[in-house]
Structure 1
Amino acid sequence: MVNYTCIGYNKKKTLRIPESISTIYGISIEEARKIWVTYDRRSLLTGAETPKTFLRNISRAIDTSKTPETLYEEWTKLSLKEENCIDWKLLDFIKNLREKYKIYVMSNAVNIAQEDKLTRTIKSMFDKYFVSYEEGFRKPEKEAFLNVLKKIDCNPENCIFVDDTLININTAKEMKINSIIYKSLEQLKKDIKEIVDK
């Protein structure tokens, strides 16, 4: 098969939401994780709730003198991507893939620090960038995959989904999408070659 579409990519670890909560509120990571796990994360990740509303809501459970605006500014600064958190070798590989294939990103993201220069540069390296807060769906929901497949007008069997989270891979496999769990760039190259050479 030749007309494959790759959905998804992996970047080096950036600060996750519980780590951000811990930092901006000055609480332990355990307490921040507990708040995040018990919170209705779907509303934040799908854009039904703004980051400022999220901060206002969790501020009720945390003793803080900081305003939601101050917390938002601090979270934005923490969320700005840095050159060293990006896997540039992976992006070079993706650039080469784009010569033959359409490449899309499907990301669970909060609408914070999404328009900085580095993020815009990265987004420009893909044919389309689907983020949960704009689409209204998040991985591993089947609707998130169906939404992207519909928008790119592609059959599942003609796609390759790459992700570093097993639950997302499992949903893609259930939908008959060729799936690769990302572990390393070399492994990814090998797995993609096996799929396209079938």
Structure 2
Amino acid sequence: MDNIKNIIFDYGNVIFAIDFLRTQNALSQLGIPNVKEFFAHKGHNKLFDDFETGSITPAQFRDGIRKVANKLDLTDEQIDDAWNSLLIGVSGNNHDVLLEVKQKYRTFLLSNNNKIHYDWIIAYLQKDFGFNNYDDFFERAYFSQDTAMRKPNVEIFEMVLKENNLNPAETVFIDDSPQHIEGAKKAGLRTLLMDVHPEKLRNFLQLHKLL
């Protein structure tokens, strides 16, 4: 891609591997009916939108799961374990890739996230890599639960552009979700759909002449 000065990365299945099927299976075992409609890559119940925008607390999210499963005796641990089954880990040498990219571009992270997943990820980064957050890898990291907005809504993209004085014509957004790509396009961003496993991130960036 020509004339790119800034890159905004999604997190899940771009840098960090996640597995929706594992979570569907785990939620089904909790008693969630019609789990493929309840939680999937391209669509899900409003409960998840509310949690990802910080509109509800972890306790309220867990109560929502209990209600849908019709099992009020589900423990917090059972629900958290099922929900966190989505999270696999950072793929390959992607932290090294991010540092290399940061030498060439202004880089940002924009992730739909939630308090339960965020806490798990931070504990994982501390334990497996010895760092507390993503400050070393991005100029700034944005998480939906802190902004009261989520992708694909155009407002969250416009916020990142405005707060960092980014020209959308010089900025590429990389995400694995087609619906998020469409939201970014509405903000004028250039976009790339991540259509390979995150362990192939370096190859993907090289293919599109960003490395």
TM over 0.5, yes or no?
yes
Segments of 4+ moved more than 4 angstroms:
27-30
Counterparts in 2 of 1:73 and 1:190: CA distance versus 1, 3 Å = closer
- Structure 2 partner of 1:23: 26
Check conservation: 1:7, 1:161, Cα contact below 8 A.
yes
Counterparts in 2 of 1:28 and 1:62: CA distance versus 1, 3 Å = closer
Check conservation: 1:159, 1:177, Cα contact below 8 A.
yes
- Structure 2 partner of 1:45: 52
The one of 35, 40, 45 aligned to 2:38? 35
Whole-angstrom CA distance in 2 between matches of 1:64 and 1:168 = 33
Offset of residue 63 of structure 1: 3.2
Structure 2: gaps (5+ residues): none
Q: Which moved more, 1:24-33 or 1:144-153?
A: 24-33
Number of aligned residues? 190
Give the structure-1-normalised TM-score: 0.78
* 2:107 match: secondary structure: strand
Give the structure-2-normalised TM-score: 0.74
- Structure 1 partner of 2:67: 60
Structure 1: gaps (5+ residues): none
Whole-angstrom CA distance in 2 between matches of 1:152 and 1:94 = 19
- Structure 1 partner of 2:97: 93
* 1:97 match: secondary structure: helix
The one of 119, 123, 142 aligned to 2:134? 123
* 2:208 match: secondary structure: helix
Q: CA RMSD in A?
A: 3.0
Percent sequence identity over aligned pairs: 18
Counterparts in 2 of 1:158 and 1:19: CA distance versus 1, 3 Å = same
